[in-house]
Structure 1
Amino acid sequence: MTRPNRNSYDGPALFSYGFRPFFLAASLFAIAAILIWMLALEGELELGGPFSPSDWHSHEMLFGYASAVIAGFLFTAIPNWTGRMPKQGRPLVLLLVLWIAGRLACAGLFGLGAVPVMLLDSGFLAAIVAMVIVEIIAGRNWRNLMVVVPVLLLFVANLGFHLEALAFGGADIGRRLGLAVVIFLVTLIGGRIIPSFTRNWLVKRSPAHLPVPASRFDAVCLVVGAAALLAWAFHPHDGPVGGLLLAAAALHFIRLSRWQGARTGASPLLLILHVAYGFVPLGLAATAAASVDLLPVAAGVHLLGIGAIGGMTISVMMRASLGHTGHALVAGPVLTAAAAMVFLAALIRVLAPDMSFSGVSGLWIAALLWAAGFSVFALRIGPYLARTRRKPT
């Protein structure tokens, strides 16, 4: 397949490739959104818009932050899949403006009603779905057309979130369904890239034991995981659903163990991908325990939301940003520390949210660790995204 010619673009570097604006915007929004949420939680800040503060927090992390990362990933991967030119310039600018408008509308800054906010916010994911379908069909890359399905489901979940909040004043099902879809994307994409990157790295160093190639077992993991998460979205306090979640946790733990993550210690950039995926079975197991009242619901939700989604997205953004701006695929101590802070935020949020450390609550420490991790990412990688014009690798 002929690789697209990217050298004809002469506009701002930030809009020369899909990952640049959306990874930078996502990292900055991750910082702002968690601090806004904490201030709203303590009554120091009043949020407008159609959502309650807790619904706004869930919605913006799933359909704001995560959607931006997904868009950046797709518009970087699809040109490699199809051989077509990447989206550049004006289309990326318009998409970013649409995403920002959705964030402002959901925060109530436009003073719009619930229905206009829903239409404006949903427009971003609708545009992503349409553009991905067009690119994959135009490139006749039928094998990757299935990636549209979970993105379309995310769009549907977002609409459902808005409609549920409008009808009932809260979006409990919507937030669980949104989390379920994003976690499924983590398992789908993680299952492609983690063993592949690990295999490529190990082959050059110690090829004796390599990640097990994808097989029907991986398909079983995805199907059982999807079924468990979908059932949980609608029946979160159900014994059989808890059993299904526990089975999914065991399967994904075995899946991760087949990828030789223990042998990647010399490459933190690889290791953090394995650690991030490890939060999937951990979060599923905790959610299973919560379904029968053995753990708080928040435990599983935040292991999945902060550890799996936050950890996987920051890890993927690091690797893609370094590789596609021509930099060495080396995390170094700074970026390794950024990922470690996100992982630590997940653990503190789950294990010690109510404890006080020198007068600061565990909840605030978790929030500050999250914000610090993404701040380090933005300060370190941001200049690469905004200014570097090196040829992508």
Structure 2
Amino acid sequence: MSGSNPKSFAGPALFSYGFRPFFLAASVFAIAAIVVWMLILDGSVTIAGPFTPTDWHVHEMLFGYASAVIAGFLFTAIPNWTGRMPKRGWPLFLLVSLWIAGRLACAGLLKFGAVAVMVFDTGFLAAVVSMAVVEIVAGRNWRNLMVVVPVLILFGANMLFHVEALIYGSADTGRRLGLAVVIFLITLIGGRIIPSFTRNWLVKRDPAHLPAPASRFDALCLVAGALALLTWVFHPDGGAAGGLLLIAAALHALRLSRWQGLRTAPSPLLLMLHVAYAFVPLGLAASAAASFGLLPAAVGLHLLGIGAIGGMTLAVMMRASLGHTGHALVAGPVLTAAASMVFLAALVRACFPDVSFAGMSGVWIAALLWAAGFSLFALRIGPYLARTSRNPT
């Protein structure tokens, strides 16, 4: 599409397309934030921002890391949806700068009060939503306005997080709402791209059994998931949340089984999308068990947070970065190892947090696996993001 060709942009390649700065910044931040968190847990580091240490950790994974990936995805997908020029140059630089300012403010590195921190931090998602709506409306791409609605709710969740922390000292509801919105986005966008990519790949190899086309069943899965997550946000304990989460888990597991994921084993870049989505029903089921008092809440939270969110965002960043910089859609050993480490980090953190190995707890092992996975991504993909594409699209 000529309108989105970065060759017409004379500025730095890093700011020629939305995925470039945001995917690079997100991957580096994913490493730094988890290292700082582990040092906080060890008592080696303290932060002076408006949040408790646990709130800071959750906030920065959801509204720092995940929001950057969402912005990168949106400002890469929207030009394809609308046929309009991508956001680039100074507007993109200023948006990235606003995201960085939010990270510094939340860590207490900018000497702002709690209200000023909230303005800087929530301003990023407000800008993302505003810019996305303007582009989609200008391109008359009404269908994809639906994707912006969860991002708008994520902005509201961030506002709630700050207000709760300011008034009550902790942001319990804001944490759950933020996580719920990102998980819903994964089920919404994942339900579009995973069967589509799988179908395109299988058609070239063995079209006998293709992913089931989108149907009312997919809509049922989204509605059931949204209802379960919303109930869990406001009433996490008890039979209502537990029952709805179990139903949603079963539906999303069945939905995933219709996408022919096992047949994608020869393509790790494609298979990792299916594996990441599998953590959605797994995490929902574990959260249901927690609602009934059968498991610690941390089990479901980390299956969803590390496995589903971390795994899916990493897989999407890999595929988009390779494709939009003119490289073959092949993970290779380095990127396959990166995704495997993140998936393993989710299982270790959720299932074996207290197990000691070589003098390290399961929590530390999971953190190191996460950091190693994103380090491999940054080292492998970072140079592609910072330089001119070989065959840009």
Match in the other structure for 1:343? 343
Question: Match of 1:33?
Answer: 33
Query: Which residue pairs with 1:375 in the alignment?
Result: 375
Shift of 1:240: 1.5
What is the distance in 2 between the residues matched to 1:166 and 1:260? 47
- The answer to whether the Cα contact below 8 Å between 1:18 and 1:86 also exists between their aligned partners in 2 is yes
- CA distance in 2: counterparts of 1:326 and 1:10, whole angstroms: 19
Distance in 1 (CA, whole Å) between partners of 2:33 and 2:321 is 22
What per-residue deviation string (whole Å, max 9, x for no partner) do you get for residues 13-41 of structure 1?
10010000000000000000001001111
Per the TM alignment, residue 70 of structure 1 is displaced from its structure 2 partner at its CA by 0.2
Distance 1:382 1:7 in 2: 19
Q: What one-letter code is carried by the residue in structure 2 that aligns with 1:363?
A: V
Runs of 4+ in 1 over 3 A off after TM superposition: 1-6
Deviation for aligned residue 1:2: 7.2
Q: 2:163 is aligned with what amino acid? A: L
Q: Does 1:318 align with 2:327?
A: no
For residues 269 and 200 of structure 2, what CA distance do their matches in structure 1 show? 13
In structure 1, what is the equivalent of residue 293 of structure 2?
A: 293
Give CA deviations for 1:297-350 in whole Å, capped at 9, x if unaligned: 000000000000000000000000000000000001110000000000000001
Matched position secondary structure for 1:97: helix
Q: Deviations over 1:242-269 (max 9, x none)?
A: 0000000000000000000010000000
Question: How far has the Cα of 1:3 moved from its partner?
Answer: 4.7
Contact 1:198–1:270 (CA under 8 A) maintained in structure 2: yes
Match of 2:247 in 1: 247
Structure-2 residue corresponding to 1:258:
258
Q: Give the secondary-structure state (helix, strand or coil) at the position aligned to 1:209.
A: coil
Give, in whole Å, the separation in 1 of the partners of 2:345 and 2:388: 31
- 2:304 paired with 1:304: yes
Rounded to whole Å, the distance in 1 between the matches of 2:193 and 2:207 is: 18
CA distance in 1, matches of 2:350, 2:183: 18
Q: What pairs up with 1:159-170 in 2 under 5 angstroms?
A: 159-170=159-170
Q: Give 1:154's aligned amino acid.
A: L
- In structure 2, distance between residues paired with 1:8 and 1:360: 51
Question: What is the CA–CA distance in structure 2 between the aligned matches of 1:220 and 1:308, rounded to whole Å?
Answer: 20
What amino acid is the match of 1:253? A
- Per-residue CA deviation, residues 148-177 of structure 1 (Å, 9 max, x unaligned), is 100000000000000000010000110000
1:238 corresponds to:
238
Measured after TM superposition, the shift of residue 5 of structure 1 is 4.5
Contact 1:3/1:80, CA 8 A, preserved across alignment: no
Alignment-derived partner of residue 332 in structure 1:
332
In the aligned structure 1, how far is the partner of 2:42 from the partner of 2:169? 21
Match of 1:136 in 2: 136
Partner of 1:45: 45
Instruction: Quote the offset at 1:238 in angstroms.
Output: 1.7
Separation in structure 2 between the aligned mates of residue 247 and residue 293 of structure 1, nearest angstrom? 17
Q: Deviation at 1:390?
A: 2.5
CA distance in 1 between partners of 2:331 and 2:68 (Å): 22
CA contact (8 A) 1:303 1:350 kept: yes
What TM-score do you get using the length of structure 2 for normalisation? 0.99
C-alpha distance in 2 between matches for 1:238 and 1:389: 52
Provide, for residues 117-144 of structure 1, a one-character-per-residue CA deviation record: whole Å limited to 9, x for no partner.
0001001000000000000000000111
Query: Residues 287-306 of structure 1, C-alpha deviation per residue, up to 9 Å, x if partnerless?
Result: 00000110000000000000
Alpha-carbon distance between aligned partners in 1 of 2:350 and 2:129, rounded to the nearest angstrom:
34
Contact 2:231/2:240 (8 A) holds in 1: no
Cα shift at 1:389: 2.6
> Is contact 2:338-2:376 (8 Å) kept?
yes
Task: Write the distance in 1 (CA, Å) between the matches of 2:117 and 2:296.
Answer: 32
Asked if structure 1 preserves the Cα contact closer than 8 Å seen for 2:197 and 2:270, the reply is yes
The offset of 1:182, in angstroms, is: 0.3
Map 1:1-393; keep pairs closer than 5 Å: 3-393=3-393
SS of the residue corresponding to residue 51 of structure 1 reads coil
Q: Structure 2: any 5+ residue segments left out of the alignment?
A: none
Counterpart-to-counterpart distance in 1, 2:206 and 2:168: 57
Q: What is the alpha-carbon distance in structure 2 between the residues aligned to residue 389 and residue 210 of structure 1?
A: 32
Letter matched to residue 344 of structure 2:
L
Cα drift, residue 74 of structure 1: 0.3
**Structure 1 stretches lacking a partner, 5+ long:** none
Alpha-carbon distance between aligned partners in 1 of 2:63 and 2:131, rounded to the nearest angstrom:
18
CA RMSD of aligned residues (A): 0.9
Instruction: Confirm or deny: 8 A CA contact 1:249 1:280 kept in the other structure.
Output: yes
Whether the 8 Å CA contact 2:157–2:178 is kept in 1: the answer is: yes
Are the equivalent residues in 2 in contact too, given 1:253–1:278 (CA < 8 A)? yes
Deviations 1:343-372 (A, max 9, x none): 000000011111110111110000000000
CA contact (8 A) 1:6 1:85 kept: no
Give 3-state SS (helix, strand or coil) of 2:193's partner.
Answer: helix
Q: Percent identity?
A: 78
